A and B are shown apart, each in its own frame.
Chain A
């Protein structure tokens, strides 16, 4: 059974600080997705990572993929309050399977 595990599940950050969310998956997958969900809202696609070594950046967020280690990271640079949300990774080995989500809170 495919498992997708995120770490940490809860993250409280100060504005201006950097941090990384980790996503481990158990079975070889051809691509990795990152999503954002605001409270009470739907999921919004952030990144699609297609191959080993892939790196994508959008604003203060940067995602990378290491297929050999079955690991993806979402790095947050100089966090701001607007980044507060739940972040999910998902992998597409057959089923589109999501991790548990990381609840990120950025405070002054």
Chain B
């Protein structure tokens, strides 16, 4: 398996533009997480899905951020309009049966991340 695939790897955009980040989870995984990483705030969970359904989006910073998972093999994180303070590395991660007490290997596997710079 190729692992979690994110695109693009780098994105530079101007303030006010729409940005869409993409993620393909590992095949068969039923949980998908979006994280943002900055030096100041560390790793922040933005939203996570189970079987394509958003479970908790309380980490989404504001209405400018939205995430979708139209099917089991694809998710997007959209920022509209983007602002300089959105500059960060955005990670997508997937897990098989995360939280299942009867399974051992339920860790989340991370993609390579998208480094977003908003100027």
Q: How far is the CB of A59 from chain B (nearest CB, A)?
A: 18
Whether a CB of chain B sits under 8 angstroms from the CB of A48 is: yes
A residues apposed to B, CB below 8 Å: 30-31, 33, 41-45, 48, 50, 88, 92, 94-101
B69-119 with Cβ < 8 A to chain A? 91, 93, 95, 98-99, 101, 104-113
Contact between chains at A98 and B105 (CB < 8 Å): no
Contact between chains at B43 and A92 (CB < 8 Å): no
Q: Which of B59, B104, B107, B111 has the most CB of A within 10 A?
A: B107
Q: Interface residue count for B (Cβ, 8 Å)?
A: 24
Whether a CB of chain A sits under 8 angstroms from the CB of B56 is: yes
26 interchain pairs, CB-CB under 8 A: A31-B106, A33-B108, A42-B91, A42-B110, A42-B111, A42-B113, A43-B110, A44-B110, A45-B107, A45-B108, A48-B104, A48-B105, A50-B104, A88-B43, A92-B98, A92-B106, A94-B56, A96-B33, A96-B48, A96-B93, A96-B98, A98-B42, A98-B43, A99-B42, A100-B42, A101-B42
Q: How far is the CB of B92 from chain A (nearest CB, A)?
A: 10
| Further 16 A-B residue pairs, CB within 8 A, beyond A43-B91, A101-B42 | A30-B101, A33-B107, A42-B91, A42-B112, A43-B110, A95-B45, A95-B48, A95-B56, A96-B33, A96-B45, A96-B93, A96-B95, A97-B45, A98-B35, A98-B45, A100-B42
Q: In whole angstroms, how far apart are the Cα atoms of A18 and B93 in the complex?
A: 32
A-contact 0/1 string along B20-41, CB 8 Å cutoff: 0000000000000101000000
Q: Which residues of B sit under 8 angstroms from A95, Cβ to Cβ?
A: 45, 48, 56, 59
Contact between chains at B99 and A30 (CB < 8 Å): yes
Q: In whole angstroms, how far apart are the Cα atoms of A15 and B55 in the complex?
A: 44
Q: Which residues of B sit under 8 angstroms from A33, Cβ to Cβ?
A: 107-108
Q: How far is the CB of B89 from chain A (nearest CB, A)?
A: 9
**Which 9 residue pairs are nearest across A and B when measured between Cβ atoms?**
A98-B43, A45-B107, A43-B110, A42-B110, A100-B42, A42-B112, A48-B107, A33-B107, A95-B45
